[in-house]
Structure 1
Amino acid sequence: MTLFYIVLATLVGGVLSVVVAASLTVHVLGRVVKHLVSLSAGVLLATSLLHVLPEAFESKVEPHSLFATLLGGLLFFFLLEKAELYRHAHHHEGDGHDHHHHFDEDQAGRGGYSVLVGDSIHNFCDGVIIAAAFLASPQLGITTALAVILHEIPQEVGDTIVLINAGFSRRKALLYNALSGLAAVAGGVVGYFVVGAMEEIFPYLLVVASSSFIYVAVADLIPQMQRRLPWREMAEQVAWIAVGLGVVMLAKALMHSH
């Protein structure tokens, strides 16, 4: 049953994000994505700092080793992004961030296939993370999958817009994004069979998962929100972050009550 839940969680994340991208116009996507970015920041930080990391540190592993793993994970994802293999394409011309004209074309770079490669690697890593969380406990798996799914929606929306501006048709961009999302399922299955045989590394993988969430939130999502805004928009940002925190805390409370 654990493998079934892992496959279901990774599949839902990929399908749901593509469905959202397919069902909304570019103008509406721009308005929705900026709120989802704030929501994702709250969800990722709450999941990593209030749920996943405490689970790892409750193990018998030496804390210094776990902190070293956290540092190594942050540096690893930094280097992956430097190599353009860990993209977070939330930016586009209609997202309200006053990007210059032709920004989408610049983001598309030399071609959309590099976007798909980076996105596939990102999704595969997410699948392994979800598998490790489910193997540690079903409650942790559900919370971690929720964090990944909520983050995948704005990421896949951004990727779809970048692919369209790289010359893909809307249908082809959505199809390729859906295929890229299947990399998460592959990561989940590989994680189940590889990680499942090595229970002693669970705490380390949970810390790596946390480093991924923290890196995305602090290095990508929060900087998008750090700009001068009217008080109303600032209040909306804080409110959506608070909603993200509340979703994780509520989910944790509900699961521990059963």
Structure 2
Amino acid sequence: MKEWFLEQSPIIQALLATTFTWGVTALGAASVFFVKKVKEKLMDFMLGFAGGVMIAASYWSLLSPAIEMAQDDNVLPAWLVAAIGFLLGGLFIFLLNKYMPHTHPSDKNGKKSGKQRSFLLVMAITLHNFPEGLAVGVAFGAVAAGYDTASLAGAIALAIGIGLQNFPEGVAVSMPLRRDGMSRTKSFMYGQSSALVEPVAGVIGAAAVGLMKPILPYALAFAAGAMIFVVAEEVIPGSQENGNKDLSAVSLMIGFTIMMTLDVALG
């Protein structure tokens, strides 16, 4: 199985890796079949953990390789390349949040109907998942492009890390929908569908890198900026809004440490 995976093109590798991350989201969404309600402290812990994983992945799997690749190109200063890509990634998610209607998984108020709230909730998590899938695709594309700073083990570690933090995202979609009276089956379907964008984004990321090798440092930094914006605007605030700030901070540290260990040890 390992040899077969290594023989595949970066697009197929990215598709398989992001299919795995989608599957973990579906696993989290399937929690509606087994439990009636997830305790707020547990949900806050999982969200904080997810934030730590995403921060670590943004640096070790994306931003650091982008800087090293830019240094090898010697066209623009490496710090400028990384800064441009990073800020563009954050701006991309900012504009999506601003101009596409969405709500937050923890939003229990409002006058929207159940169907409207369901649509907006799935839209919010889908926005989060796009840069994650893009990051995985770009990482596999970087390996195929032949950069010394990119490794297959590092790309796989990134996919594993994103998969780990996708579990609470699946729970964060399906559980509120179930709480609002939606059936378990529909709650699960909405929850898992929020991550279907990841395989699409992964294929796009891998293909774009293969076709346009000079943009790779920008693409890696772009994915990092997009993920950090999501963490800062959505994940961390969501993990602290119930007052469990210490728990959220501790879980973020744990998630960061685990992802850092995976990336450095495997990469």
TM-score norm. by structure 1 comes to: 0.79
- 2:230 corresponding residue in structure 1: 216
| Residue in structure 2 matched with residue 70 of structure 1 by the alignment | 86
1:22 to 26, 30, 48: 30
Q: 2-side partners of 1:251 and 1:79: how far apart?
A: 32
* C-alpha distance 20-67 of structure 1, shift in aligned 2 (>3 A): same
**Residue 146 of structure 1 aligns with which residue?**
160
Quick one: which amino acid aligns to residue 91 of structure 1?
S
Whole-angstrom CA distance in 1 between matches of 2:12 and 2:233? 33
Q: Is the 8 A contact 1:128 1:188 kept in 2?
A: yes
Aligned mate of 2:189, from 169, 175, 178: 175
Deviation at 1:122, TM superposition (A): 4.2
Deviation at 1:55, TM superposition (A): 0.6
The within-5 A match list for 1:236-251 is 236-251=247-262
Matches within 5 A, 1:152-191: 152-164=166-178, 168-191=182-205
Percent of pairs identical after alignment? 25
Task: Please give the alpha-carbon distance, in whole angstroms, between the structure 2 residues aligned to 1:114 and 1:76.
Answer: 19
Correspondences of 1:37-76 after superposition (within 5 Å): 37-59=47-69, 60=73, 61-62=76-77, 63-76=79-92
SS at match of 2:211: coil
Partner of 2:221: 207
1:97 equivalent in structure 2:
none
* CA RMSD across the alignment: 2.9
Does the 8 Å CA contact 1:41/1:241 hold for their aligned counterparts? yes
Q: Alpha carbons of 1:151 and 1:22: their partners in 2 closer, same or farther (altered >3 Å)?
A: same
1:56 touches 1:206 (CA, 8 Å); kept in 2? yes
Q: Are residues 172 and 153 of structure 1, via their aligned partners in 2, closer, same or farther at CA, if it must alter by over 3 Å?
A: same
**Structure 2 counterpart of 1:34, from 39, 44, 57:** 44
The Cα shift of 1:250 comes to: 1.3
Q: Give 1:108 deviation, angstroms.
A: 5.7
4+ residue segments displaced more than 6 Å: none
The CA deviation at 1:191 is: 2.6
> Deviations for 1:11-69, whole angstroms, at most 9, x for unmatched residues?
12112222223234242264432111111121111221344211101123532233122
Question: Given the two structures, how large is their TM-score scaled by the length of structure 2?
Answer: 0.77
For the residues of structure 1 that align with 2:221 and 2:172, how far apart are their CA atoms?
27
Among 90, 99, 122, the alignment partner of 1:83 is 99
CA separation of 1:83 and 1:243: change in aligned 2, threshold 3 A: same
Cα separation, 2, equivalents of 1:195 and 1:188: 11
1:9 corresponds to: 17
Q: 1:26 to 1:210 in 2, by over 3 A?
A: farther
Sort the Cα spacing of 1:128 and 1:222 in 2 relative to 1 into closer, same or farther, 3 A.
closer
Contact 1:52 1:140 in 2 (8 A): no
Kindly indicate whether the alpha-carbon contact (under 8 Å) linking 1:120 and 1:180 is maintained by their aligned counterparts in 2: yes
